[in-house]
Structure 1
Amino acid sequence: MSDILRLLARSTSVSKATAPPKPKQSATPTPVAEVKLTTAARRRDQKRRAAANAANGLSGSPITLVTVLPQVDEPQTTKNGKEEKKKGKKRKRDEVEKIDTVVATSNGPATLDPVEVRSLLKQHKLKYTILATLGSRKELLKAAQEEEEKEEEDEPEGGKTASKKAKTKKIKKNKEGKGKGKDDNEVAAPRTSTSTKLDQIFPTPIQTFEELRTNYNISKRLYENVMAQKFTTPTEVQMGSLPLLLDGTRHLVPGLEECDVDLMTIAPTGSGKTLAYAIPAIDHLIRTKHEEGDSYEKGIRVIVLSPTRELADQIVNEFRKLLLGTGIKVVGMKKTLIPKERRRARDTSNEEEDEDEGEDSESSEEDDSEEDGNEVEAINSTVARSRKGIAVKSEIMVATPLLLLHAIQLCPDLFPVSKVSRIILDEADVLLDDLFLSQTTSIISHLTSPSLSFSFWSATMPSNSETLATKLVSSHPSVPSGNKTRKLVRLIAGIKDSSLPTIRQTITYTASERGKLTALRQLFSSSLKTPCLIFLQTIPRAQALHAEIMYDLPTPNRIAVLHSNLSETARSKVMDSFRAGEIWVLITTDLLSRGVDFRGVNLVINYDIPTSVASYIHRVGRTGRAGREGGMAITYYTEEDVKYVRGIVAVMEKSGGAEGLQKWMLDSLPKATKEEKKELKKKGVKERRARAGAADNKKSRISTKSGYDRKIEMRRKAAVHMSKKRKIRGNEDSDDESESEWEGFAQLLPTAAV
């Protein structure tokens, strides 16, 4: 009995004692890093909570996933403790259900913390800049007001009142000054790179190709084709450009909400630019086909322009790999796709116009009626051919500018471009140069779709090309008529105007042309790495070098030459042989310096110095492609080239792949003037031009033989040539004598005897 009383006394004493306070429990444990919050961390925490509250409302704003839930205090032990516990559990359950619904309804990637995004972009050397904001004046003013409102929300309360007054005055001045005498649909002046400070954006890059399917929701078949190429991880240019170009998640990019985007991408050679613009283009076509359904009509909807045929053929092959099983087709523009009737009709019309300039008006009217009849017949014949379908059934057209322009002008029924929604300019700095600029602008003038978007791609993009691209986009009719503002975004992957750091680059002084040839033959006999590309300035020099070294390798027929004077079949045959490994050394001009992908090239030799820094970057970029290490580039220069070497050495120093390069060499090199650079870019080095004088030809001659030996060789060749001519003439004379008529013996007798 005493034991029972003791137990009851203990229990009463314990119940009367004050229990230690229990710690407050939250739905998720607070991380250790958030115990001591700095001012920046507090601001980030406030933004996260505001985003979580907006997400709970399931609004149309970008969704931010927040893992921190509001803390719920544990109810104290009172009479109504059970009811409060039930209410707390119900609150937790509701909070979790709301976040689960947000996760289920989000169609895009989960946005990372801004600090993490910036560190990720800095790690991969990705930089985004808004070059211009375009559109109608109403849309521009509306976008400006929305940006100002966002800035006011981010500012502290004390500084809001002072900034509001200044901003409202600016808005009133802009409305009063710019609005006088101008329509609302007039295009506003674009904000280009000439301004002192440009706006930057920080979108979240992709890190794996699996995100294309899970987060960006591209077509399943397209994703399977991408993974079938056995790509491991996306390159820098693919990480940065795909989030901006994919239609499904562009509205989630911070800074580009409810905007149409035109992209200018600058990335090193061999970094995977073709795949970066091919995936969004194909995904856009698949989405369009799915949305239109039965009303979908086949026709050209995407145009890819390239400066050379070789690059165009390569782009077509890359697209075909990604289009397997998608129902989308690609075609490479060729001259044979234009019917002969159209070409003949145009040629005859031009000839008749030239002949009939001085005739009367009546005869000219008759000729015009005949020409119209011929054109109608030609159109009818080509319409019958178009029903069979050559180019009409293809959604993607890859072409060079001049050939596509002729096709659009001669055959608008075979090549309809009214539904083209995307135009891609590969090697855009060349297409915006004086050589192709008029053709490129005239092609774009034929594209009348209100939803046309532009993208420019190159490894080098000078400032004048950027301004031309901005004017080209701003002058298109789709800009003022669009319902949304448009932003031209520039993406720089890596270091601008530099080559890949994985390429070992050397520069060698050879003093003269004979020194070049001697150094090349020493390289052949000591440390030649094949396959090898040798670049020269002109076609005659390429042919001369091929004739000089074609038997220098121990195995015959391993050296070939490729230039634009060859036929299309001969060029394709040489390219196939070089890719197959049958040709070890390929001598060429700048025809192959841009875009052409030779993944196995180990050595690039600049036998003649490039005509510009951009040309050097593209030449060197033929090796070390797709992250492949072990590529090497050698540049020979003579006494005439010293004043042009400084830019090349600067690129070597910037890229970090130069060997044996010291700073005193860069400082001691002379600087070329602007006129000299322009002349070099247009015509090349004066001593190596095709129409140089006799004295210059001696300096630029590709040979190691002395003048006396060359004279003997030339005399010997001339003697052989003349002997062949004599034999041909002798054979012709004998044939003429045998075929002459027989006049009898009278012609052999003297006149007196007759």
Structure 2
Amino acid sequence: MSDILRLLTRSTTVSKAVAPPKQTTLITPAPPIPIAKPSSSSRKRKRKPSQPNDTNGSALTSIPIDAKVEKSSKKDKKKSRKKRKRDSDVNEETPVISEGHANLDLADIKSLLKLHKLKYTILATHGPTELLLNEKEPDDLKDESKDKKKAKKKKKASTEGGSTSESKYTTKPSPKLNQIFPNPIQSFDELQTRYNISKRLYENVLAQKFVTPTEVQMGTLPLLLDGIRDAVPELQGCDVDLMTVAPTGSGKTLAYAIPAINHIIRAKHEEGESYERGMRVIVLSPTRELADQIVNEFRKLLLGTGIRVIGMKKSMIPRDRRRSSRNLKEDDESGEEEEDSEYDDDDDDDDSDSDSHDDHIVSKSVSKKGMAVKSEIMVATPLLLLHAIQICPDLFPISKVNCIILDEADVLLDELFLSQTTSIISNLTSPSMSFSFWSATMPSSSETLATNLISSHPSVLNATKPRKLIRLITGIKDSSLPTIRQTITYTASERGKLMALRQLFSTSLKTPCLIFLQTIPRAQALHAEILYDLPTPNRIAVLHSNLSETARSKVMDSFRAGEIWVLITTDLLSRGVDFRGVNLVINYDIPTSVAGYIHRIGRTGRAGREGGMAVTYYTEEDVKYVRGIVGVMEKSGGGEGLQKWMLESLPKTSKEEKKELKKKGVKERRVGTGASGGEGRKSRISTKSGYDRKIEARKKAAIGNSKQKMIGGVDGDSDHDDSESEWEGLE
């Protein structure tokens, strides 16, 4: 009876997933069939279920169930392996870095550098021959190119019959072995966690609201700060010099300012009471405007650190010594045409406002020990600093300078500044010198000059360990920012340029605006022509190197304050100067080189700011020089309205034409705006007819002569001669 009730209760629970009941003793179970594990060779054959001759129900049901479980487990394993592989591939393309990203492996570092477009290359290894011969290659690089090296050795042994071990370290390594992969920083918090920089310096960085580093800061700070070189196999036991090529407005000043300040703070802490003030870091720039800007950036980071920065001024040199050196300076500057010089490195224009305070400033700056400069960081233009070192070695001691930074290095290594730059570097005798070169454009000639400068320096010749020059390229080399909208317009003639500019003023002018011209006379002529074209007066100004230092500073401050909307200038402001709010750059005259174009339009779109626009005008005389500009526009992806014929049909510029253009500019615009002859008419910036200019010239001459008659300084004959000469000048 109890068995019947149990059967009835089991029948009511059939709908539930319950295991079948166990067999009673009435039915004897069949012996289990052993299932062998499949081998690798017969895996496919063993997966098929076997069909035994035994018709026992339990045996028939047990075998397929086990086979299905085995199949499902294998499929799950395959799916999981594929999923893990997909996840690893995704992580390699877009690495997600956690807080402990300081210990990334090489694959993650490579993908991270590729994501931010950072490329490191060892350009050269300097040092005594015995040190280079003893230098060993890293094991991972040896394993990477082991087969290729064996093949090359076999070929050389068969052809030359000699070994290559002696010349292995003196020849240039292959490009693949030259590349290195340092671990970049991801946030400024790592400056204290990984590199342990000064707490006060770190607070000053955060006070400037710098949270996320730019690409150039991500790549350069690990190399310039201590603590990362031992992690890179190629840099173990070596000193490092750096050459950085990064777009304009990417934050290069901050990238070299932080390590320079941190090294001085550490030296001050290590030396303790024996620490003496004096120049330890020199920053060279091609223009005074850029030098003043660098000084301001350093001052923001030096608050509360006890370190000082100073910009080199002419007034720091005593007047009597400066006068005695004028003859030497004139010899150095002989042969250079003033109007063709793009940059201002002239320090002998005696401004009355600065000369009147010379004695007062010098008496303050000269200390009891006879030093004029007690600041650790000196920012200067090359010629002014060179004269100070040569004329006043007692006031400007440089024995403790162990770091030199070249901002806009391609200009400082060009013909205009090369002799001055090399002279300054040769005077630096510290055994622990370090070099760094910074620019948005770096031709191969500048790289060669930088390599030669380092290799011939006494600190390298007397070194106890090898020194490596590393080049970092951020983004695409020698290209502009893609966020800048670039247009190029054909105007046929000079009069067409002026009409196009006035049309732009009346339709789509975006202020603040910078207008670049080739020469100082042309900048002055354009300023006189469009001075009253804006509805509000006194909103247009001109800036060039012929103005006094006080006048230039006043114009710069007014432009930054928004009091001046349109600033007309030469290439004096084309490099390094930071105008964060510039919305429009107009190349009224085409630049003298492709690098000049990149730097000019880089005055807008600073620090990742979008909305900047660059307009370039060109005439019939400029057609043969336009191809390089169009190539930059196409390369950067910011060009608008580019047509296929512009990339294919425009004439190529020969090397001689490029050199001539870079040195003197377009030939038709070298003459003054008031010169006589056909070339003068072509280059004249004016919309007035020749007849109207003659009438105006005669009126001005008559007014001037009448004034002189009233004073009693001239007679009738000289009156006629002056009017005639004035008339001929404007003709």
TM class by smaller structure: 0.7 to 0.9
1:386-434 Cα offsets, whole Å, 9 max, x none, are 3277743211010000111111111222211111111000000000001
> Matches of 1:177 and 1:609 in 2, distance apart?
48
Q: Is contact 2:512-2:584 (8 Å) kept?
A: yes
| 1:687 maps to amino acid | E
**Secondary structure of 2:256's aligned partner:** helix
Change in 2 beyond 3 A, CA 1:675/1:33 = farther
> Matches of 1:159 and 1:634 in 2, distance apart?
50
Change in 2 beyond 3 A, CA 1:420/1:174 = farther
Q: Is contact 2:517-2:588 (8 Å) kept?
A: yes
Specify which of 367, 373, 377 is matched with residue 386 of structure 1. Answer: 367
Q: Are 2:596 and 1:615 aligned?
A: yes
> Matches of 1:580 and 1:489 in 2, distance apart?
40
| 1:224 maps to amino acid | E
Change in 2 beyond 3 A, CA 1:711/1:603 = same
* Alignment match, 2:712: 729
Equivalent positions of 1:562-641 (< 5 A) are 562-641=543-622
* Alignment match, 1:261: 240
Q: Are 2:116 and 1:133 aligned?
A: no
Specify which of 207, 220, 227 is matched with residue 228 of structure 1. Answer: 207
> Matches of 2:149 and 2:663 in 1, distance apart?
56
**Secondary structure of 1:128's aligned partner:** strand
Change in 2 beyond 3 A, CA 1:191/1:288 = farther
* Alignment match, 1:310: 289
* Alignment match, 2:137: 147
Shift of 1:253: 3.0
**Secondary structure of 2:228's aligned partner:** helix
Change in 2 beyond 3 A, CA 1:291/1:530 = same
Change in 2 beyond 3 A, CA 1:35/1:338 = same
> Matches of 1:151 and 1:556 in 2, distance apart?
66
* Alignment match, 1:91: none
> Matches of 1:457 and 1:463 in 2, distance apart?
14
Specify which of 690, 698, 721 is matched with residue 707 of structure 1. Answer: 690
Specify which of 107, 110, 113 is matched with residue 118 of structure 1. Answer: 110
Equivalent positions of 1:652-731 (< 5 A) are 652-690=633-671, 694-729=677-712
| 1:337 maps to amino acid | M
> Matches of 1:388 and 1:33 in 2, distance apart?
76
Change in 2 beyond 3 A, CA 1:316/1:171 = farther
Change in 2 beyond 3 A, CA 1:430/1:552 = same
Equivalent positions of 1:197-346 (< 5 A) are 199-344=178-323, 346=325
> Matches of 1:113 and 1:595 in 2, distance apart?
37
Q: Are 2:463 and 1:473 aligned?
A: no
> Matches of 1:109 and 1:250 in 2, distance apart?
17
TM-score, reference length from structure 1? 0.74
**Secondary structure of 1:605's aligned partner:** strand
* Alignment match, 1:649: 630
Shift of 1:717: 2.1
* Alignment match, 1:516: 497
Shift of 1:118: 1.2
* Alignment match, 1:429: 410
Shift of 1:350: 11
Q: Is contact 1:593-1:618 (8 Å) kept?
A: yes
Shift of 1:168: 12
Q: Is contact 1:131-1:198 (8 Å) kept?
A: no
| 1:513 maps to amino acid | E
* Alignment match, 1:359: none
Q: Are 2:483 and 1:502 aligned?
A: yes
1:144-198 Cα offsets, whole Å, 9 max, x none, are xx21655556789x999999999999999567689xxxxxxxxx86739xx7666
Instruction: Tell me how large the CA RMSD over aligned residues is.
Output: 3.3
Change in 2 beyond 3 A, CA 1:390/1:636 = farther
Shift of 1:277: 0.3
Change in 2 beyond 3 A, CA 1:713/1:298 = same
> Matches of 2:562 and 2:707 in 1, distance apart?
39
1:466-500 Cα offsets, whole Å, 9 max, x none, are 00000011111111321221110000001100111
Shift of 1:340: 2.3
Give 5+ residue unaligned stretches, structure 2. 1-76, 89-97, 331-358, 717-731
Specify which of 374, 390, 400 is matched with residue 409 of structure 1. Answer: 390
Q: Is contact 1:386-1:414 (8 Å) kept?
A: no
| 1:662 maps to amino acid | Q
Specify which of 560, 575, 579 is matched with residue 541 of structure 2. Answer: 560
1:350-389 Cα offsets, whole Å, 9 max, x none, are 99xxxxxxxxxxxxxxxxxxxxxxxxxx9xx999933277
> Matches of 2:131 and 2:538 in 1, distance apart?
64
1:568-627 Cα offsets, whole Å, 9 max, x none, are 000000000000111000000000001001111000000001010010000000000011
Q: How many residues align?
A: 596
Change in 2 beyond 3 A, CA 1:634/1:345 = closer
Change in 2 beyond 3 A, CA 1:463/1:346 = closer
**Secondary structure of 1:262's aligned partner:** strand
**Secondary structure of 2:514's aligned partner:** strand
> Matches of 1:135 and 1:508 in 2, distance apart?
52
1:244-278 Cα offsets, whole Å, 9 max, x none, are 00023332234211111100000010000000000
> Matches of 1:309 and 1:620 in 2, distance apart?
20
| 1:225 maps to amino acid | N
Change in 2 beyond 3 A, CA 1:693/1:117 = farther
Equivalent positions of 1:63-74 (< 5 A) are none
> Matches of 1:241 and 1:464 in 2, distance apart?
22
> Matches of 1:392 and 1:676 in 2, distance apart?
45
Change in 2 beyond 3 A, CA 1:652/1:732 = same
Change in 2 beyond 3 A, CA 1:250/1:172 = farther
> Matches of 2:698 and 2:559 in 1, distance apart?
37
> Matches of 1:531 and 1:159 in 2, distance apart?
57
1:294-319 Cα offsets, whole Å, 9 max, x none, are 22221111000000000000000000
| 1:213 maps to amino acid | Q
Give 5+ residue unaligned stretches, structure 1. 1-29, 42-66, 68-102, 179-187, 352-377, 734-754
Identity %: 76
> Matches of 2:527 and 2:156 in 1, distance apart?
69
Shift of 1:200: 0.2
Shift of 1:129: 0.5
**Secondary structure of 2:109's aligned partner:** helix
Q: Is contact 1:339-1:382 (8 Å) kept?
A: no
| 2:128 maps to amino acid | S
Change in 2 beyond 3 A, CA 1:448/1:282 = same
Change in 2 beyond 3 A, CA 1:576/1:211 = same
> Matches of 1:384 and 1:322 in 2, distance apart?
23
**Secondary structure of 1:218's aligned partner:** coil
**Secondary structure of 1:247's aligned partner:** coil
